[in-house]
Structure 1
Amino acid sequence: MKKAFEVQNPDLELSPFTGMSKKHYIELAKYLLERTFEHVGSIETPLTFPSVPGKTYPEPNAPDWRYKSADFEALERTFTLAGPLIHIDPETTIKGINLRDYYSLQIYNAFTPGHSNSLPLPEELPDSNYQFTCEFGGLFKTLLLMPETIWFGYTEKQKDEMVVTISKWAHHRTTQNNWRIFNIITLSFLKKYGYEIDDELLKSHLLWVASYHSGNGWYLEQTYNYYSISLFIVYTTIWNRTFGDEYYPEVAAIIEKSAQKLMESLTSFFGRDGYINMWSRSICYRTWVSGAFPVAFMLKDKTLLDAGWARRLCSGSLLQFVTREEFYDNDIPSLGFYGQKEYMIQNYSCAGSPFLMFLPFICLALPDDSPFWTAKENEGMWDTLGDESKKVVLESPGLVLVNHGKTGTSEIIPGKVYYDDPNYSKLVYNTHFPWEDHNPQGGTSMEYSYRSQDPRDVRGDDVNFYLTGKKVENDSEKNRSFTISQSMFFNGVRKNVLYRQAIMRRPPNNGVGYIIDLAEITIPGGVIRVDRSRLAFEYELTLGHFGMPHIDGQKAVVNQFELGDKKVITASIPGRRVALITYHGWDKLDSLVHTNRNAEADESTVIYAYKKRMAKNPPMELMISVMIHRMDNQEWTEEELSPIKDIQIMDITPEYSALGATITLFNGEKYEIDFKDIDGKRSC
């Protein structure tokens, strides 16, 4: 028997695509907790998961509070599943243990000073911020929405005992942006139920959070990422309905307006089948962004999303993971994406962290007659998209979303990236081709990878040696490896062409000599790239396609050939194919087998383009390529591999810009590639 979730007796009348009705959500939550409670011996047993070796916490020999933090994270985040089940049925039992009794007891123990399982108080630790604050916010977000699950069951004496710990953490130091929401949630819960708080502190946090709103429904986190949806929209909308509308209506109105705006583009983040995109940090949280679907029906205007499409995407995103055996490790969600992958996680995660992915189960707090539950599943705009590709431009976060009707995949194209991190810095992220880690040997998936051949770098001199006469921290050993873009700028969409810039070196050595100007034309199932290299000194460069995982050890099949005036390389695995076509500015095409970089398999194949320029002052060049994908086993047609009919390269464009082109597609469409004033159009 498959050791993963299977939809039993699917409701194909209500949900013809996933079979998932409210009953199945309840069954899935119970299934996940049944496996989780393999780690619980009795109602007295604290929820402790085995530590995961590697970068996650708690590390060996960590202080006691780190172990307390990991246990509290496990307790709180599994309540993301347990709370909604208790809300539906207070007598729900898992492995013979009543959920309400279990979580009531364990949370009481955690919050009661002096108990052996109690959390430390802030004053017992060095003055800093701690993971405890995050988990308090998560717990009281659930209890604001569903207080009857456990809070109403405590005696007044028990509540008073617990409030000491709750209040101290609610008022404690927090981090600069999204964590303020955790303090807001916890302080609001205390105030709502009659406990004294610092009202000025709550107001201050609220104004800070409101100040981060950037537009398009997005908020600035460390950079733009899924936190903007899951925390700044999901958590705060729950806060609105349960507290904010009454106590802080003006701030609530800001949140309401931003949430309504977000709904305009939310569905474009998901593939046709509901698949989510592996993008940004904390990828082990996976489906937490799907929590925005039930939240849409907590807004004042409940017609912003097609309910049948919303449930179809929400269900599909959950099934993307819970139906896979490799998803589970020690009977709980693994620290990775599809399976346990050390190189894809952050050091602030622990074994219990992935349970935040079950944030969508707040849908069980929606009434039975909510459109989320009653509407028949449908596929929204995909039904009419055909083979076309739809593009949504979000200027404020600098994101472009593409839905490929031909392949059913969706893409996130990032434009405001501050550092070299594969979670953010890829040229594009695709729902069905999860990203690969960087390969210092070149050929990195969906990145321009750069290696300097400047003799000053090779020697280890400062590149400005001729000005200073000094060697300044230029690591020749490090320079032997390929590096990816250090930051990305968003330069806007003009005449249906997306412009960005990849900055290949940071200051003080970037000047204006390490820039790749990016121009992209969306086509069905892919993109035409007309990128301008402004790389001032000797260099090597690679451009990689999506990684092709070797599922069950089966290697990708690679073919390479010439077709007229262009070079073509393809790679295929069962059910997926990619092709890379180069027209201008590249020396050759090649492929590499990577180890321990792919989300789906330990080995993968990447096809890539390569060039090497050894002139002391290389000229600017246009690098013209096509990158396409498909989600079947059909052979590529000559038409698919020949999307460009004509290329006219211009030293000076009609708009008086250096080095552009006119691209004519085989369907007759014409695109003007003009980098005029691109440096002045940067936003980040």
Structure 2
Amino acid sequence: MRGATILPAICGAHRDCRRLPSSPNCAEPFMRFVPENPDFRLSPFSGMAREHWVQAAVFLLEGVFAHLGNVREPLVFPRRSPEAYPRPGATWVSLRAQEMEGLARTFLIAAPLIEENPDLMVRGINVRDYYARQILQACDPSSPTFMGHAEDIARANGGQLAQQLVEVAALCIGLMSARTSVWSQYSEMERATIAACFHDHAHGKTHPHNWRFFNVLTGAFLEANEVAVDAVAMDGHLHALMAFYAGDGWYRDGLEFDYYSAWAFQFYGALWCDWTGYQRRPETARMIERRHGELMAVYPHFFGRNGESLLWGRSAIYRCAASSPLVAAFRLRETPIDPGWARRIASGNLLQFLGRDDLWMDEIPSLGFFGPCDPVLQSYSCAASPFWLAKIFQALSLPKDSPFWTAVENEGEWPRLGSGVQTVLLERPGLMATIHGSTGAAECRPGKLALAQSWYQRLAFNTAFPWEADDEAGATAMSYSLRRLGEDSSEAAGKWATPVAMRHGGFRDGVLYRQIIFRRNSPMPDVVIDLADIVIPGGVLRVDRVRADGECELRLGHFGLPHLHGMAPEIREWREDGAQFATAVCGERGLLLATYRGWSGVAAQVHTCKNVEAETSTVLYAVRSRGERMAEVSLLVTLMLHRTDGRHWTASETDLVREIVPATDCEAGVTVCFKDGEERTVDFSRIEGRLGG
């Protein structure tokens, strides 16, 4: 596969009635999904066979239907965050949108269940009858819960789009999954009412990114049910979507690369192929299938050993939707992924969230990554939005004899790693994915970032040490932070800033090159840091070159370490052979930071309400202090390690670097000589000619 390189490895549902001890970070006490009678023969790692996925789906629906006063009202969940919509004074568009999210996203969970068992009852409610009635009412202009016509929505919303188009597409996915039990049970007139509403939204205004798939999927649903659509318009959307393809299995959604490539482009594309694509537009379907195959060749490296997904990019509240393209792969004619590894990842990803007692609020998944967390929310988030995780339950629409269900679980590449590390390089999207055998963690290093948003602007993302929000005091996790000093009179003077853009410089001789940019009040950067990552087992050795315009103070944060169960970490500091070391260990997780060159010291900062896993957390960070004026060009060498075994580092585990030899032009780079005999040369010369964003 051109562009993508895999480097050789371096040597029964119930609300937990047993009242298991609850985490102090738990929002809904004593509640988490525990599979009944796990099957460790078919699924030796997760215990999750198909029946346990059904248990998980019913478990979620039990929480959903706890919010229903009577069967004729829509699903509306409590708004627990001021960041969520609908906000005070909201228009009818916003009110209908939250109802549509509650209906459509939970229907994705229910649809495969009621196709298999139309008489399914949850909390005394016939699930099939409830959704069939609510879908019809949402599409009926005479109903008080009618979602609205596309033009009326745009007009009432100041010309802006709302969530209705998104949820129409979700209803289409659900109706295709429940085609016999729901769609075919409507009368001819009722189907015409629903089709007219869907047709209106399919041909309405959309956003010029992944949203085009909502038009395409809705059009495909109509085509599959013999309703005519504007083929020219649908083809236009498809062509625009295909043009976002960058290569190596990744689409660029707007400005960034993130999970939308996976849970939108690749997930929806596979469904479209299965519904109508292979039959009506076979060339495009084959293109989508081929691109999906390229993703499957590398995507498992974005998950931890137990199937954990990263908190990376926007919409973190969708959680285990990250593994939905692994499920959707089995809707394609060619499925180039090991089904046992695919199900192991997807089941682990499901349990990563549903198996936690801090996930729940009001008996449904909270607005956060684990527990409630406002910093991960976007303006389009409402209380029902987390149910986009339901995409993963398309697995239950696969045939029972699908290899996804019949293959024995396995761990793919992990057993061959030992304590080593394996890295996948994706030049086109500028991504590096790494799996660490010693810790079971997966990491992603982005390289092409255009937005100054903290969900993207990080040096790395790690499954064992999830993202933290920016720290205004200058100790932002896994990021450089800069404060301008001297005679700077701008508004930014004295404030800590994080990078506004990142560019990808390629991978050469064991070194990943990138560049981050800081700007002040003009489009021209005033501080540039050239980055060089040397990935090693359990971490990275960084050699970074700072190009500063004026006097500034600089900090580099490690990952955030959550204080689980209210326990603060044990921190140790020492000096050895001119390097300064600091470690922090809390429970099973630990971090090490060592500074070899260019820094004045290390420190630790306790954060409150920054970490997605705990109320408080600690960040180790390196410091270039105010009293030391930074040269116009300076080299910084830093070691950053992580571990997940609860142990502190021994002397032999930290004594990794034998010598750091500057280049002849000392600002052009260094050669790092490791104690094991390995050498890596960092060469920043001509980096500007190799950068791409």
Normalising by structure 1, we get a TM-score of: 0.94
Separation (CA, whole Å) in 1 of partners of 2:649 and 2:51: 43
In structure 1, the residue matched to 2:583 is 570
Q: SS in structure 2 opposite 1:120?
A: coil
- Work out which of the residue numbers 204, 216, 241 in structure 2 matches 1:209: 241
1:371-412 deviation digits (Å, cap 9, x = unpaired)? 111111111111110111100001111100000011110000
Corresponding position: 1:226 with 2:259:
yes
- Work out which of the residue numbers 32, 36, 44 in structure 1 matches 2:64: 36
Question: Is the alpha carbon distance of 1:649 and 1:440 closer, same or farther for their aligned partners in structure 2, counting shifts above 3 Å?
Answer: same
In structure 1, the residue matched to 2:592 is 579
Q: SS in structure 1 opposite 2:358?
A: helix
> Do 1:141 and 1:239's aligned partners in 2 also have CA atoms closer than 8 Å?
no
> Do 1:88 and 1:364's aligned partners in 2 also have CA atoms closer than 8 Å?
no
1:344-377 deviation digits (Å, cap 9, x = unpaired)? 1111110000011121111111112111111111
In structure 1, the residue matched to 2:572 is 559
In structure 2, the residue matched to 1:526 is 539
Separation (CA, whole Å) in 2 of partners of 1:434 and 1:280: 12
In structure 1, the residue matched to 2:108 is 80
- Work out which of the residue numbers 421, 427, 433 in structure 1 matches 2:459: 427
Q: Displacement of 1:545 after TM fit? A: 0.6
In structure 2, the residue matched to 1:621 is 634
Corresponding position: 1:157 with 2:185:
no
Separation (CA, whole Å) in 2 of partners of 1:573 and 1:486: 32
1:409-445 deviation digits (Å, cap 9, x = unpaired)? 0000000111221211100000010011011111110
In structure 1, the residue matched to 2:527 is 514
Question: Is the alpha carbon distance of 1:100 and 1:489 closer, same or farther for their aligned partners in structure 2, counting shifts above 3 Å?
Answer: same
Q: CA RMSD in A?
A: 1.4
Question: Is the alpha carbon distance of 1:535 and 1:614 closer, same or farther for their aligned partners in structure 2, counting shifts above 3 Å?
Answer: farther
In structure 2, the residue matched to 1:9 is 37
Aligned pairs (5 A) from 1:227-246: 227-246=260-279
In structure 1, the residue matched to 2:605 is 592
Aligned pairs (5 A) from 1:138-217: 138-217=170-249
Corresponding position: 1:286 with 2:332:
no
- Work out which of the residue numbers 605, 610, 614 in structure 1 matches 2:618: 605
> Do 1:580 and 1:608's aligned partners in 2 also have CA atoms closer than 8 Å?
yes
> Do 1:42 and 1:97's aligned partners in 2 also have CA atoms closer than 8 Å?
no
Corresponding position: 1:647 with 2:660:
yes
Q: SS in structure 1 opposite 2:96?
A: helix
Corresponding position: 1:388 with 2:417:
no
Separation (CA, whole Å) in 1 of partners of 2:218 and 2:330: 23
Separation (CA, whole Å) in 1 of partners of 2:540 and 2:644: 16
Partner amino acid, structure 2, of 1:269:
F
Partner amino acid, structure 2, of 1:521:
I
In structure 1, the residue matched to 2:292 is 259
Structure 1 residue runs of 5 or longer lacking an equivalent are 461-473
Q: Displacement of 1:162 after TM fit? A: 2.2
> Do 2:42 and 2:408's aligned partners in 1 also have CA atoms closer than 8 Å?
yes
Corresponding position: 1:682 with 2:691:
yes
Q: Displacement of 1:114 after TM fit? A: 1.2
Q: SS in structure 2 opposite 1:621?
A: strand
Q: SS in structure 2 opposite 1:622?
A: strand
Q: SS in structure 1 opposite 2:410?
A: coil
> Do 2:101 and 2:385's aligned partners in 1 also have CA atoms closer than 8 Å?
yes
Q: Displacement of 1:87 after TM fit? A: 2.2
- Work out which of the residue numbers 392, 400, 413 in structure 2 matches 1:368: 400
1:641-667 deviation digits (Å, cap 9, x = unpaired)? 1211111012427xxxx4211111111
Partner amino acid, structure 2, of 1:235:
Y
Separation (CA, whole Å) in 2 of partners of 1:666 and 1:146: 61
In structure 1, the residue matched to 2:86 is 58
Q: Displacement of 1:45 after TM fit? A: 2.5
Q: Displacement of 1:113 after TM fit? A: 0.6
> Do 1:536 and 1:618's aligned partners in 2 also have CA atoms closer than 8 Å?
no
Q: Displacement of 1:612 after TM fit? A: 2.9
Separation (CA, whole Å) in 2 of partners of 1:34 and 1:213: 40
Corresponding position: 1:377 with 2:405:
no
Q: Displacement of 1:674 after TM fit? A: 0.1
Separation (CA, whole Å) in 2 of partners of 1:162 and 1:634: 59
Separation (CA, whole Å) in 1 of partners of 2:565 and 2:43: 32
Aligned pairs (5 A) from 1:402-441: 402-441=434-473
> Do 1:284 and 1:337's aligned partners in 2 also have CA atoms closer than 8 Å?
yes
> Do 1:144 and 1:238's aligned partners in 2 also have CA atoms closer than 8 Å?
no
Partner amino acid, structure 2, of 1:254:
M
1:452-496 deviation digits (Å, cap 9, x = unpaired)? 1131x2xx2xxxxxxxxxxxxx31xx3222111110000000111
Corresponding position: 1:479 with 2:493:
yes
Q: Displacement of 1:509 after TM fit? A: 5.6
- Work out which of the residue numbers 500, 505, 509 in structure 2 matches 1:491: 505
Normalising by structure 2, we get a TM-score of: 0.93
1:28-84 deviation digits (Å, cap 9, x = unpaired)? 100110111100133212111112331110001111221110011110000111011
Aligned pairs (5 A) from 1:82-161: 82-125=110-153, 126=155, 127-161=159-193
Separation (CA, whole Å) in 2 of partners of 1:592 and 1:633: 21
Q: Displacement of 1:617 after TM fit? A: 7.3
Q: SS in structure 1 opposite 2:93?
A: helix
- Work out which of the residue numbers 306, 309, 316 in structure 2 matches 1:273: 306
Partner amino acid, structure 2, of 1:251:
T
Q: SS in structure 1 opposite 2:654?
A: coil
- Bigger mean CA offset, 548-557 vs 587-596: 548-557
In structure 1, the residue matched to 2:27 is none
In structure 2, the residue matched to 1:337 is 369
1:92-129 deviation digits (Å, cap 9, x = unpaired)? 11112111111000000000011111111123231432
Separation (CA, whole Å) in 2 of partners of 1:556 and 1:408: 21
In structure 2, the residue matched to 1:249 is 282
> Do 2:245 and 2:251's aligned partners in 1 also have CA atoms closer than 8 Å?
yes
Separation (CA, whole Å) in 1 of partners of 2:634 and 2:292: 43
Q: SS in structure 2 opposite 1:639?
A: helix
In structure 1, the residue matched to 2:550 is 537
Partner amino acid, structure 1, of 2:686:
D
Larger relative contact order (CA 8 Å, sep ≥ 6): 2
Of all paired residues, the percent bearing the same amino acid is: 38
> Do 1:417 and 1:487's aligned partners in 2 also have CA atoms closer than 8 Å?
yes
Count of residues paired in the alignment: 660
In structure 2, the residue matched to 1:471 is none
- Work out which of the residue numbers 509, 515, 540 in structure 2 matches 1:501: 515
> Do 1:437 and 1:598's aligned partners in 2 also have CA atoms closer than 8 Å?
yes
> Do 1:52 and 1:350's aligned partners in 2 also have CA atoms closer than 8 Å?
no
Question: Is the alpha carbon distance of 1:550 and 1:617 closer, same or farther for their aligned partners in structure 2, counting shifts above 3 Å?
Answer: closer
1:489-547 deviation digits (Å, cap 9, x = unpaired)? 00000111000001122672634x41000001011000000111111210000001111
In structure 1, the residue matched to 2:26 is none
Question: Is the alpha carbon distance of 1:149 and 1:430 closer, same or farther for their aligned partners in structure 2, counting shifts above 3 Å?
Answer: farther
Corresponding position: 1:18 with 2:27:
no
